[in-house]
Structure 1
Amino acid sequence: MSTTPEILFSRTDDALGTFSLRPLDPLTDSELLHGWVTHPKAAFWMMQDSSLPDVEREYMRIAAAEHHDAFIGLHDGEPAFLMERYDPSELELVGLYDAEPGDVGMHFLVAPTDTPRSGFTRAVITTVMAALFDDAATRRVVVEPDVRNKAVHALNEAVGFVPEREVRKPEKTALLSFCTRDRFEAATGIVAEVSI
């Protein structure tokens, strides 16, 4: 019996190599994730003080959720980022915006590194967006990053997001932003190959 995780999506960046996504396993991935989400650079992930059991419980909760999924992103086969996909009409933004059919919410987190590479985080968000638009049902990606997270606002803009307004959430003031398939393709030159 093979224990190799299923690769759900893959793309090659001409400068940086292959980026792919596999399902997250809360039991085997929690230790890895704990190091990522508690790192000082992950402050906006809001899990700084989480214990290893806290992280395991959180990702077991996501794995069991009907409207929320989590994935490990790989760079050349090695874990390098985390992606979460959710239904914003059911989680995170309920009652805070007018949901439309085909809306998909997204979070992503790049693993901390001592050897940062130019363009890496942009390649990660491009991969995340290409994976989301690979699903024909996805018409628009919705994000709600902290208004103070200027770095992610710039990345979002680079892949086609347009900010709409600030929204107040219990844990933060967020910048509600949207990206359609057309905006993503115009911003990146990547035409998502839709899987039916």
Structure 2
Amino acid sequence: MRFTFRCVDPVADTPLLHSWVTQPYAAFWGMLSATETDVIDEYAKIQASGHHHALLGLDGGVPAFLMEEYLPASSPLAAAYPVLPGDAGMHLLVAPPSGDPEAGFTTAVMDAVLHRLFARPEVERVVVEPDARNTKIHALNERFGFLPAGVVGLPDKDALLSFCTRAGYLAARETLTPLKTTATTRTEDLQGAAAL
């Protein structure tokens, strides 16, 4: 697989993460005005929670995206829908391109993230709750087999709750064009691919 993953170090990784989450393309991540101290505090809290975990996705050893996985039953989603055993929540933020955007890059990132989640036998479906206004991430989610269940009110946003089963992901994956020939999906076109 092209991408590897490592745990976020809330202190060491803060300058990098801060440079991503405070850019306009990441508006739906909800940290545009965050300080570096805010970022440290947020990711220290996530990593210590026991039910929410942040990972950096590396492309050739270079950080390329941020992935968060969490247990919906331990999140605000528990009040928004009937959580089932096997549900895994996911957030995704793709880094801004450092040069010319690579065709199909965001598609490859999403595929790697879903592959990682569904590689765990206990995961039956992946749950996402992006901002209801983030139409570009909704389109990417749909390409990978996510089905919308409706808009739910969460403490920080109105979110489009969507689910992707293992079977739905595998079926959608069969229809995707290989990375080298996929139409360009630039990071800025996805508002940071923030599935938050």
Q: Output the TM-score relative to the length of structure 1.
A: 0.86
Q: Distance in 2 between matches of 1:154 and 1:106?
A: 16
1:92 Cα offset (Å): 3.1
Residue-by-residue CA offset, 1:81-125 (whole Å, 9 max, x unaligned): 000000111113021001000100000000012422221111111
1:182 Cα offset (Å): 0.4
Q: Distance in 1 between matches of 2:71 and 2:153?
A: 18
Q: Distance in 1 between matches of 2:27 and 2:72?
A: 22
Give the RMSD, CA atoms, in angstroms. Answer: 1.2
Match of 2:45 among 55, 61, 64: 61
Give 1:71-150 correspondences, 5 Å limit: 71-113=55-97, 114-150=99-135
1:187 aligns with 2:172: yes
Residue-by-residue CA offset, 1:21-49 (whole Å, 9 max, x unaligned): 11111121111100011111000000000
Q: Distance in 2 between matches of 1:169 and 1:27?
A: 28
Q: Distance in 2 between matches of 1:45 and 1:92?
A: 16
Question: Secondary structure of 2:152's match?
Answer: strand
Structure 2 spans left out of the alignment, 5+ residues: 176-196
Match of 2:148 among 133, 155, 163: 163
Instruction: Name the amino acid aligned to 1:97.
Output: Y
Question: Secondary structure of 1:94's match?
Answer: helix
Residue-by-residue CA offset, 1:55-82 (whole Å, 9 max, x unaligned): 0111011110011000000112210000
Q: Distance in 2 between matches of 1:41 and 1:115?
A: 16
Name the counterpart of 2:12. Answer: 28
Higher RCO (CA-CA < 8 Å; seq separation 6+): 2
Name the counterpart of 1:175. Answer: 160
Q: Output the TM-score relative to the length of structure 2.
A: 0.86
Q: Distance in 1 between matches of 2:152 and 2:64?
A: 30
The share of aligned pairs that are identical, in percent, is: 51
Instruction: Name the amino acid aligned to 2:108.
Output: A
1:132 Cα offset (Å): 0.4
Runs of 4+ in 1 over 6 A off after TM superposition: none
